[in-house]
Amino acid sequence: MNHLLHLKHQDRIGWIGLGEMGYNMANNLQRYLASLHLKLTVWNRTPAKSQKIHRHGAHVAKNLEELVATSNIIFTSLSNDAAVEEIYAQLIGYAEQVEHSIIFVETSTIYPTLATQLSQKILSLPQKHSYLQCPVFGRPPVAKAAKLIWVTSGGDEKIIKKMCLYFTTMSKSIIHLKTPDVAKACSFKLVGNFFVVGSMEVLAEGLTLAEKSGVHQEDVLKFIEAFFPAPAWLEYSRKMVDGHVSGKDSGFSVDLGLKDVGHMRQLAKEKDASLPTADLAYSHLKSVQDKGLGAQDWTSLINPLRTASKLPSMTGVAPVIEHEERHAAVATAVREE
């Protein structure tokens, strides 16, 4: 590495991954840094997605090597374990060569063992780098509103305290697991997502029974609003009844959902716990994916239940915008700004 930098006291923050979650989180952080006349350095595999945040003042790194050389804090938000593994293999390679220490903050939903492996590799380097596993709860619109629930693990009290300054720019609450065991945060996230997907499974079954019984769906929604006014219940029941999700804030795909539900089932198996509701949700999501509809919002898990009950599919469940279309949308948005 020929552009080694001796970082001063001031934090220099890098961000990798500008997807549905990453962009919204990074943008809020960039807004905070801009108020201090500082800027985030970003990198995304698809360069077009970096342009919008560049317009908001962020610096776009030429490559990962530059980002590592110029950052002493690096956040990552990546789709799945394979992406996290691939990017961290490169990050660790560069982190081995710098003279400064870096705090890595991994926010993706990944399997606990991967977090442990990454943490061990990073902590074994002589630079005294740190690795925090900090999964987040909340969908992209929640990330945009800086109202995520942030979970912390890894590091020590001093590092977590310092990093909270940045976490609060993206979240409404922070749950500190107070443990160096980064696998715990991944398990915590999978338990939380189990409550979400379990709620969806219950809602899908109940709404299907209501329709078969001639009970008006809008009346069921009124009951949910009065009796179970939790955001996830309100949002997912409304989506299932309306049969569509809107535009860019289209939520969570069946493909990503299967990753999470697969992980929670694997964790349950590994820990000798039983998770039958996740098994059911998995089979419904898988059946949607097998039809080539893995890009649909995961509320479409209601459709296999409807089919089994001889009801028509909710065809209005809009597909999550495909990557290519998203890139085109970003390019258009940039041109229009």
Ligand X SMILES: NC(=O)c1ccc[n+]([C@@H]2O[C@H](COP(=O)([O-])OP(=O)(O)OC[C@H]3O[C@@H](n4cnc5c(N)ncnc54)[C@H](OP(=O)(O)O)[C@@H]3O)[C@@H](O)[C@H]2O)c1
- Mark 202-241 with x for binding to ligand X (rule: CB under 6 A) and - for no binding: ----------------------------------------
Q: Which is nearer to ligand X, 20 or 201 (CB)?
A: 20
Q: How far is CA 141 from the centre of its chain?
A: 12
Report if residue 14 touches ligand X, rule: CB under 6 A.
no
Q: In the sheet that 136-137 helps form, which strands lie side by side, from edge to edge?
A: 136-137, 148-152, 171-176
For residue 58, the 8-state DSSP code is: P
Nearer to ligand X, 86 or 156 (CB): 86
CB of 323 to ligand X, least distance (A): 5
The rounded distance, in Å, linking the Cα atoms of 326 and 21 is 13
> Judged by CB under 6 A, does residue 67 bind ligand X?
no
Give Cβ neighbours of residue 316 (< 8 Å, ≥ 6 apart): 242, 243, 244
Dmax over Cα atoms in the chain, in whole Å? Answer: 71
284 binds ligand X (CB under 6 A): no
B/e letters for 248-275, b = 16+ CB within 10 Å, e = fewer, are eebbbbbbbbbbbbebbbebbeeeeeeb
Closer of 58 and 220 to ligand X (Cβ): 58
Is 18 near ligand X (CB under 6 A)?
yes
Q: How many chain residues are in contact with ligand X, going by CB under 6 A?
A: 25
- Compare residues 252 and 282 and give the one whose CB is closer to ligand X: 252
Task: State how far the Cα of 236 lies from the Cα of 36, in Å rounded to an integer.
Answer: 39
Among 26, 41, 49, 153, binds ligand X (CB under 6 A): 49
81/209 Cα distance (integer angstroms): 37
In the bound state with ligand X, the residue whose beta carbon lies nearer, of 72 and 79, is: 79
Q: Is 259 a catalytic residue?
A: no
Distance of CA 225 to the CA centre of its chain: 27
- Does the protein bind ligand X through residue 109 (CB under 6 A)? yes
| Shortest CB 210 distance to ligand X, Å | 27
CB of 307 vs ligand X, minimal distance in Å: 26
Residue nearest to ligand X (CB): 19
Q: How far is the CB of 147 from ligand X (least distance, A)?
A: 12
Q: Which is catalytic among the residues 49, 144, 184, 189?
A: 189
Closer residue to ligand X (CB): 166 or 252: 252
Nearer to ligand X, 142 or 160 (CB): 142
Question: Is residue 112 part of the contact set for ligand X (CB under 6 A)?
Answer: no
Establish if 105 lies at the interface with ligand X (CB under 6 A).
no
SS3 of 107, please? coil
Q: Does 87 bind ligand X (CB under 6 A)?
A: yes
Helices within 77-182 (DSSP H only): 81-95, 112-123, 140-144, 157-167
Residues 240-279: x where in contact with ligand X by CB under 6 A, - otherwise, as a string: -----------xx---x-----------------------
Closest CA to 74 of 101, 53, 96, 104: 104
Q: Enumerate residues 6+ apart whose C-beta is below 8 A from 87.
A: 16, 17, 64, 76, 78
Cα-Cα-Cα-Cα dihedral sign, residues 262, 232, 153, 19: positive
Q: Which residues participate in catalysis according to the annotation?
A: 189
Note the residues at the interface with ligand X (CB under 6 A): 17-22, 44-46, 49, 77-79, 83, 86-87, 108-109, 136, 139-140, 251-252, 256, 323
